Amino acid sequence: MPVKKLAELVEKVKSLPRTRVAVAAGEDPHTIEAVGRGVSEDMIDATLTGHETHIKEVASEYKIDPAIFKIIDTPNEKVAAAKAVELVNSGQADFLMKGLMGSATYMRAILDKEKGLLPPGKTLSHVTVLEVPSYHKLLVATDVAVLIAPDLKQKIAMISYAVDIAHRLGIEHPKVAILAAVEKVNPKMNATMDAAILTQMNRRGQVKGCIVDGPLAMDLAVSEESKRIKGVESEVAGDADVLIFPDIEAGNIFYKACAYLANASLAAIVVGAKVPCVLTSRADSEDSKFYSIALAALMAGKGE
């Protein structure tokens, strides 16, 4: 059965072998709480880089035994990020997580040409799984944090990554909505042109494992009523599993509107690297970080 709630994702991960996370600068309370919860619920083993004294102080303050973590003392966030990446490259960790550091520092460590995690020729992209109370199932959304203005080739990669995650969530034939401001192709609007090409590529078997349709306006992608009123014939409209945004502004605004105005729960990872990389905001809740760990563990897992 498809996973329809993030709590179900957690239960699915608990049924798999434990994975190992390397946390870059795991010093803030929400990260320590989320990682501690993952360890205590037998999902993961964790190594935290950062200031050891501070990590132990924060863990103790939040009634978490620091002995459940392996801690590697590092002098600053740049070294902490590099050390966490090194743990992945040496086979001592199955996925990466950002703690108390800027996203730019974290991403630089991943993208480092000599010691990073991005294979040559691969596209790095951000995927979020959202549980929005007003929607009847999980939504997989991309890209809200990494690709600024994705071109057609990058959008193909975005679809591939999102569909892979949807499959691991038990969605056999995910419905992919290529979003734009309108649902008609307009040569003056690049997003609609790309959407039409991607839809045709899917119909010809060039984009596999899913059903693609676009351009679709946001209301058409998720509202059966909108589909009925507008009279649009589409297998995807009103029932989308995956949302492909035309650019980072549209995706990021949607993501934050869901989180702050629609009370959505979320899990977020960067994909395309050698391993899943948890990327959440420093201000994100402990729940969001915990669900993101579960998603990364699922994608890094050694079983079905």
d(CA 140, CA 242): 5
Residue 160: CB atoms within 10 A of its CB come to: 18
Helical H segments across the chain, by residue range: 6-14, 29-40, 52-61, 77-89, 103-111, 152-168, 190-203, 218-222, 224-230, 248-261, 286-300
| Ranges of each domain in the chain | 6-118+273-300, 125-261
Helix and strand numbers, DSSP H then E, in the chain = 11, 11
d(CA 220, CA 239): 9
Write out the two tokens for 264: 């959505």
Specify the CATH number of the domain 6-118+273-300. Answer: 3.40.50.10950
Contact call for residues 236 and 212 (beta carbons, < 8 A): yes
Superfamily of domain 125-261: Isopropylmalate Dehydrogenase (3.40.718.10)
Beta bridge partners of 211: 175
Helical H segments across 62-151, by residue range: 77-89, 103-111
Write out the two tokens for 187: 């040569």
Write out the two tokens for 145: 């944090």
pLDDT tens-digit profile, the chain (304 residues): 899 999 999 999 999 999 999 999 999 999 999 999 999 999 999 999 999 999 999 999 999 999 999 999 999 999 999 999 999 999 999 999 999 999 899 999 999 999 999 999 999 999 999 999 999 999 999 999 999 999 999 999 999 999 999 999 999 999 999 999 999 999 999 999 999 999 999 999 999 999 999 999 999 999 999 999 999 999 999 999 999 999 999 999 999 999 999 999 999 999 999 999 998 876 678 899 999 999 999 999 854 4
d(CA 116, CA 184): 41
d(CA 144, CA 78): 24
